[in-house]
Structure 1
Amino acid sequence: MNDITPAELKERQQNQQAPIIIDVREPWEYEESRIDGSRNIPLGELPTKIEDLEDLKHTEVVVHCKGGGRSATAKALLQQHGFDHVRNLVGGINAYNAG
């Protein structure tokens, strides 16, 4: 599935059509700024949390981090575990906040 731009995500949020958003940054980063409605699961903890996310395997999930690197890793990890609608937020929260 293609990645999602900050503009597309904001539009979806405004239309009450927001996907599940998982922030894979560290808790201290999440505390500093976050996307409304996002859930914080640091990348280092994601492998142990995949079972908790089983009900989202066929749901659209957007992963993001600061700039897109960690979330690209998270997207690949989720896809390897059968998640078929995972999208990475292009440019991460930096791009989201800049727009």
Structure 2
Amino acid sequence: MDSNMIFNIVALGFIVWFFYSRFAGVKGLRSLSSEQFQEAMGSDKNKYTLIDVREPGEVKQGYIPGAVNISLSTIGKRVSEIPKDRPIYLYCRSGMRSKQAARVLRKQGFNELSHLKGGLMSWNGKQVQ
């Protein structure tokens, strides 16, 4: 085997790992449709925490009422602001960043995690503009 082939194998392995780590499911994360998400949250906003993990500029375009904005880029630094004693509901624009945020929170000891499958693009409920 020449060094070029070894490099190609290592590069391919890295690419496969990268995509797997981005798209693989998160252990313990519930992926909920828009209807399931609304139903799971219920009407008592004191029983859960709803987090919009988009960047602040994106939130200006609209958000789910009651959501707190803790962007994916800052969630690791702001984890102390999130209560561990209640369910956490996460969403973003498409569902990818909320999965990544769930991975971060899972490593920090959060257990009751759900995210909006398809993100705001799939949301059928109210939005604040």
Q: TM-score, normalised by structure 1?
A: 0.85
Give ranges in structure 1 of 5+ residues lacking alignment. none
What is the CA-CA distance between 1:12 and the residue it aligns to?
4.4
Whether the 8 Å contact between 1:68 and 1:91 is mirrored in structure 2 is yes
Where does residue 75 of structure 2 map in the other structure?
A: 46
Percent identity, aligned pairs only, is 27
Task: From the two aligned structures, give the one with the greater helix fraction.
Answer: 1
For 1:24, give the aligned amino acid. V
Q: Are positions 1:94 and 2:121 aligned together?
A: yes
CA distance in 1, matches of 2:122, 2:44: 20
Please identify the structure whose Cα radius of gyration is greater. Answer: 2
Task: Detail structure 1 runs of 4+ shifted over 4 Å in the superposition.
Answer: none
Give ranges in structure 2 of 5+ residues lacking alignment. 1-27
User: How does 1:1-99 map onto structure 2 within 5 Å?
Assistant: 1=28, 2-12=30-40, 15-17=42-44, 19-53=48-82, 56-97=83-124
Which secondary structure does the structure 2 equivalent of 1:76 belong to? Answer: helix
Greater RCO between the two (CA within 8 Å, min separation 6)? 1
Q: TM-score, normalised by structure 2?
A: 0.67
Whether the 8 Å contact between 1:58 and 1:84 is mirrored in structure 2 is no
Question: How many positions carry a matched residue from both structures?
Answer: 95
